Amino acid sequence: MDNQTKLNRRFFMKGAGATALLGGAIGGLTLPNTASAKGMGNVSMSMAYDLNEEFNRIGAGDSKWDGIRRRWRPFNVPFPMGVADMDFRTLPHITEALMKRMGHQNWGYQPAPSDYYDNIIAWNKKRYDQDVKPGSILNCLGVLDGVLSILKTYNTDGAPVLIQTPGYSGFFGVVRNAQFSDIENPLKLVDGRWEMDYDMMASQIDENNIKVMLFCNPQNPTGNCWTADEMRRMGDICIDKGVLVVADEIHCDFVNKHVKYTPYATIGEKYAQNSFTLKSTSKSFNLAAQRVGYMFSDNQEMIDTVRRNGHQRGSLNTLGMIACNAAYKHGATYMDDMQAYIDGNCHFLEKFCAEEMKDVKYKVHEGTYLAFIDCSRVARKLGDPEGDQRVGDMLQRFFIEKAGVNLNPGENYGHNGVGYMRMNLGTTHRKLHGALNAMKAAIEAI
């Protein structure tokens, strides 16, 4: 039996044995029993990890489970599917690495693990054939931390920042924090897939003197994995007009079976030289609480300029760096299993909407574990929102109060998100099925 198999058995075995193992190391932690769900389609997985385990997160103080329950009292929210983190037990190698370090009861200054950057480079090379230059990597507290430093360095004239929408809601906040304004470049829905409007993009850049564009690949929340041709056309416009591309590719490890993720910086040297890429293990391995990310560019001069301008992150949270390192060293099979599992959730959601919940429209998306579902029919049934309430806020309240399901309002991601809700599929098949049944019953009772 190899070391990985031993570790998987140690951390994922059922019953008292597993409880005793971890309980002695982490103050009597109690592990829930594993539960399986059937009828979710044919999902090909290694079976090394039990992703059907109903892992109990209540009581840990997290934003997704405990936070939503506090905010919506007295309503129970058994299906919190808003905050973009996952409900699965993390990769056991990560837990073991953290437990080992915690056993050493001194917390003085500590640099990154000696092979930390080597493992970042190896992960991107092996999975995506992307060459990340060793000296080009800058640490970040997260993707938005890096974006903020780039904006403050390269948007010195204070021009608005271009954001494709529906787009990551955090972009709007970081632009405000940098004391800039934003311009929405709306994507167009064509035959169920969101596409770029290149003509509008070009005119908006000219009219507003845009210098920086925030780009998401895969796109959050629409799920687009942009093709090389799509990105080259976008990149040509940006290069021609002197616009820097800042590529948030944090969701790159979640790609459904029918598509491929292509890193923006790999589509050609001229595009790589005019862009930054930002990534993190926080989505792939559910490590958001560890506050560790990184950015890089083929353009070493740009990296050096950001560093000189004040982005000093030589070392980060010790536990976060250890967790990230363990993820990239040992997480390939776990990530493959996760991709297959989320793919199964996507197809189940599509089938359920088509057959059981026809007032909600959804087509299997391409990347991320987030689904952008069209709830405009439900909104019409509910009528006009009250007062200054948005359509998305009305839908959120309805699904929480009547179904116990929290979804994120589509307007959070741009003006063209009205009528849509973002649903987090990073949960067990059983929880997803339960949430959908509850939503269906609530809609039918309108």
pLDDT greater than 70 at residue 434: yes
pLDDT one-digit tens code per residue, 153-212: 999 889 999 999 999 999 999 999 999 999 999 999 999 899 999 999 999 999 999 999
CB burial of residue 346 (10 Å; 0-12, 13-18, 19+)? buried
- Give the model's pLDDT for residue 44: 63
Q: Does 3.40.640.10 match the CATH number of domain 116-317?
A: yes
pLDDT greater than 60 at residue 403: yes
pLDDT one-digit tens code per residue, 28-42: 323 233 333 344 444
pLDDT one-digit tens code per residue, 219-242: 999 999 999 999 999 999 999 999
Which residue ranges does the chain devote to CATH 3.40.640.10? 116-317
- DSSP H helical segments within 103-192, as ranges? 116-128, 143-154, 169-177
Q: Would you identify the CATH topology of the domain 32-91+332-444?
A: Aspartate Aminotransferase, domain 1 (3.90.1150)
Strand boundaries in 141-250, DSSP class E: 161-165, 182-186, 188-190, 193-195, 212-216, 244-248
CB burial of residue 205 (10 Å; 0-12, 13-18, 19+)? buried
- Give the model's pLDDT for residue 235: 98
From residue 319, alpha-carbon distances to 29, 112, 241, 325, 413 in Å are 19, 10, 42, 10, 32
pLDDT one-digit tens code per residue, 320-372: 999 999 999 999 999 999 999 999 999 999 999 999 999 999 999 999 999 99
Which residue ranges does the chain devote to CATH 3.90.1150.10? 32-91+332-444
pLDDT band at 63 (very low <50, low <70, confident <90, very high): confident
pLDDT one-digit tens code per residue, 295-325: 999 999 999 999 999 998 888 999 999 999 9
82, 427 in Cβ contact below 8 A? no
pLDDT one-digit tens code per residue, 108-143: 989 999 999 999 999 999 999 999 998 999 999 999
pLDDT band at 46 (very low <50, low <70, confident <90, very high): low
Pairwise CA distance, residues 409 & 404, whole Å: 15
